[in-house]
Amino acid sequence: MSTFYVVATPIGNMGDITLRAIEILKSVDLILCEDTRETKKILNKYEITTQTLSYHAQSKLSKVDKILALLEEGKNIALVSDAGTPGISDPGALLVSKIKEYFRFDEVKVVPIPGPTALVAALSVSGLPTHEFTFLGFLPHKKGRDTLFREIAQVKRTYAFYESPHRILKTLESLAKFCPEKKVCLAREMTKIYEEFKTGSPGELLEYLKKNPIKQKGEFTVLVS
């Protein structure tokens, strides 16, 4: 029986990879990477010489067919994303779905290799309630954004989502408009050199980023109480 491993990799600091993840990446026949250039950085650090193949959101169906064929041949394959846990706001979710649909009677084992994810890391240090939360992934660019912000304003649970540096100011402006009294935690560049966590009202955080343009750069996880 072939095994398809869904392997979490560091979101920044390469020391966050697990021993089990290193062992699996060394032992499989092939590693599927969102970007092989990014994955090579960590493979080289831990002297992992396993063959790699790109798989990303723009991959054609023929690439999926090739992966299914390799699994049918008995190959063991690992899936990684550029950072964090594959399948969480990540094209890997579709591939796992295709594998489970194709091998309906569990001819292929799909095994998670747990590890870092920006969502849980941010929640753990936010100081916001975590007993119940809703994860929105990446917010839509245009259609539906205001509807989501209205929902966040009305519902009494923590909301979490990812945001790009290009839209973080616009997002804080919307939060200040629809839910000005909510407490927000911005987690930026987690586990990296410029890691930062800031908590305040949407208006306070908006003012902080406008006064410090350099702080607008990087990857954001946004939590709203």
Write down the pLDDT at residue 60.
Answer: 86
Q: Residue 27 sits in which domain range?
A: 2-113
Write down the pLDDT at residue 61.
Answer: 84
Write down the pLDDT at residue 1.
Answer: 87
Give the C-alpha separation, 218 to 99, whole Å. 34
Same domain membership, residue 10 and residue 89: yes
How many domains is the chain partitioned into structurally?
2
Q: What percent of the chain clears pLDDT 70, i.e. is strictly above it?
A: 100
Q: Encode pLDDT of 83-127 as tens digits.
A: 999 999 888 999 999 999 999 888 999 999 999 999 999 999 999
Same domain membership, residue 109 and residue 135: no
Axis-axis angle for helices 168-178, 145-154 (nearest 10): 50
Write down the pLDDT at residue 153.
Answer: 96
Helix (H) or strand (E) holding 42: helix 36-45
- The CATH number covering residue 41 comes to 3.40.1010.10
Among the candidates 113, 139, 156, a domain finishes at 113
Please count the helices (runs of H) and the strands (runs of E) in the chain: 8, 10
Question: What are the distances in angstroms from CA 190 to CA 5, 53, 144, 196?
Answer: 25, 27, 28, 7
Same domain membership, residue 93 and residue 171: no
Q: What is the pTM of this model?
A: 0.92
Q: Which among 44, 1, 29, 10 has a CA at the least distance from the CA of 118?
A: 10
- State which residues of the chain have pLDDT below 70: none
Write down the pLDDT at residue 108.
Answer: 96
* Bridge pairing between strands 2-7 and 77-80: parallel
Write down the pLDDT at residue 163.
Answer: 96
Encode burial over 162-173: b for 16+ CB neighbours within 10 A, e otherwise: bbeeeebbebbe
SS3 143: coil
